Amino acid sequence: MLDQKTVRTQPEAIAEALKKRGYSLDIAALKQLEAERRSVQGKTEELQQQSNSRAKNIGKAKAAGEDIAPLLAEVGQLKKDLAAAEHELAAVQASLETLLAGIPNIPADSVPEGLSEDDNVELRTWGTPRQFDFDVVDHVDLGDALGGLDFATATKLTGSRFAVMSGGIARLHRALAQFMLDTHISEHGYTEVNVPFIVNSDSLYGTGQLPKFAEDLFKLSDDRDLYLIPTAEVPITNMLRGDIIDDADLPLKFVAHTPCFRSEAGSHGRDTRGMIRQHQFEKIELVQFVRPDESDAALEGLTACAEAILQKLELPYRTVILCGGDIGFSSTKTFDIEVWVPSQDKYREISSCSSFGDFQARRMMTRYRNPESGKPELVHTVNGSGLAVGRTLLAVLENHQNADGSVTVPAALQPYMGGLDVIK
RNA sequence: GGUGGGGUGGCUGAGUGGCCGAAAGCGGCAGUCUUGAAAACUGUUGAGGGUUUGUAGCCCUCCUAGGGUUCGAAUCCCUACCCCACCGCCA
């Protein structure tokens, strides 16, 4: 959520900044609601004040032993007016709140112009896509031949966009998760957390998935208003919802390994083959809470942590900065890391690292006590995948495949595979 | 599942209808003292919002959340969520 005061007082400037996203802010509606809010709030507070002072007078009169009956008679109409005004105010504030909560974050200055992913800008590449001297097989056929990747059975168990892994591939998948987690803990200074995979709507509101993107989530039919997490970003970031953090504790860096559940509504027919787009996948998520002036550096650092995993796994990748039209709702700046997928002859997203500025912090009321002002001020949040495990598995299988259908285990993973160097 | 007790500021914890945005302590901040620090002492210290040129003043709201009673609610009633204790059941 953007700062209400800024939105209200400088709607034109906000609207201009949001154009970079291709978002058009309804200034007229905003101004109208704001004018209404102002008058209704003024009226309500005046009535509240009257009501308060009369109640006090009644208290004094009673204490003095006076007859309070005439005073009581006076407040009848006031109470009715006040109730009506409060009702009206609540309605206006709810409308304003809905409008404000639906406004996306403002892209950072460094975010390039553009409306689609075609306008994203490549920042750097690492490694060189391998030249194969045999016909490249995609991970679905590779996995099928190895007997460890089975989509048909998963369809029987659940439906489309699920997979059953077994044997060496299941172990490789687990090894990848462990390896990433260990690397971030011991080499990058993150604290491991283990969090719930089911969250309430307040948490989803805090990180920005709700109220706008409910259709992307799996909601439990249980009447407790609970959802499966679409990413560990939600539980980790919300750990500090409503809290005031000690300045000395910043920056806070957390890493978690969780499953992620996404309905993929609206992506029917996209990436239907293989592990690219699943309803359930595992991810190692990195989250940082930082002081406002440190978020740019934190985003660079966090992205480097994610890239380090790909380097250790000897997987070629490139890093792009998303253009204004392609960044997520809550993000002010996003770097996507894309791994080389040989069967598709192109780079595919494997990590998305974003800075949210104070956008999430404002929704969550997560603050730190600024030693200079002594006041609680909003922190900045930064997060990213480090990495998506399923897509990494796919990349390892395809990039390290051999002519005989076997897959070479990258050296970094071998300790996690009991020393195994080839999956056959 | 049963019974009972609770959820108050950064933290601990008082407060059972008006004098309570809220005692006290801790912590924080400022000062005195000190070569410096600690200790001690003194003062100060919740958050959000409205109005406003204003970090001035005035005003509103907030004691888990949502309803209710009342002229008036941290305080009484109802509901939800959470915590604690004991009992039962069980991995």
Nucleotide nearest to A47 in CA–C1' terms: B60
Q: A224-243, pLDDT tens digit by residue? A: 788 999 999 999 999 998 88
Which pair of structure tokens corresponds to residue A341? 């997928």
Give the CA A92 to C1' B67 distance in Å. 21
3 state SS for A329-366: CCCCEEEEEEEEECCCCEEEEEEEEEECCCHHHHHHCC
Give the CA A288 to C1' B67 distance in Å. 39
Please say whether the beta carbons of A266 and A215 come within 8 A: yes
Please say whether the beta carbons of A31 and A11 come within 8 A: yes
What's the confidence (pLDDT) of residue A56? 87
Which pair of structure tokens corresponds to residue A224? 């407790």
Give the CA A372 to C1' B55 distance in Å. 13
Which pair of structure tokens corresponds to residue A44? 């309500």
What's the confidence (pLDDT) of residue A265? 86
Among A285, A284, A286, A259, CA closest to A162 = A259
Compute the distance between CA of residue A143 and CA of residue A137 in angstroms, rounded to an integer: 10
Computed on alpha carbons and rounded to an integer, the radius of gyration of chain A in Å comes to 27
Pick out residues 46-65 of chain A having their CB under 7 A from any atom of nucleic acid strand B.
Answer: 46, 48-49, 51-56, 58-59, 62
Which class is domain A117-423?
alpha beta
Strand B atom within 7 Å of A244 CB = yes
Helix, strand, coil percentages, rounded to 5, for chain A: 45, 20, 35
What's the confidence (pLDDT) of residue A221? 83
Return the CATH fold of A26-101: Helix Hairpins (1.10.287)
Nucleotide nearest to A44 in CA–C1' terms: B60
What's the confidence (pLDDT) of residue A348? 96
Where in chain A is CATH 3.30.930.10? 117-423
Compute the distance between CA of residue A106 and CA of residue A357 in angstroms, rounded to an integer: 9
Where in chain A is CATH 1.10.287.40? 26-101
Residues of chain A with pLDDT under 50: none
**A58 φ/ψ angles, rounded to the nearest 5 degrees:** -65, -40
What's the confidence (pLDDT) of residue A361? 92
Q: What is the DSSP string of A243-304?
A: -EE-GGGPSEEEEEEEEEE---TT-TTSS-STTSS-SEEEEEEEEEEE-GGGHHHHHHHHHH
Which pair of structure tokens corresponds to residue A322? 């998303």
What's the confidence (pLDDT) of residue A4? 86
Closest residue to B49 (CA, C1′): A41
Q: Which nucleotides of B are covered by protein (CB under 7 A)?
A: 10, 18, 28-29, 47-51, 59-61, 71-72, 81
Closest residue to B18 (CA, C1′): A59
Give the CA A358 to C1' B45 distance in Å. 26
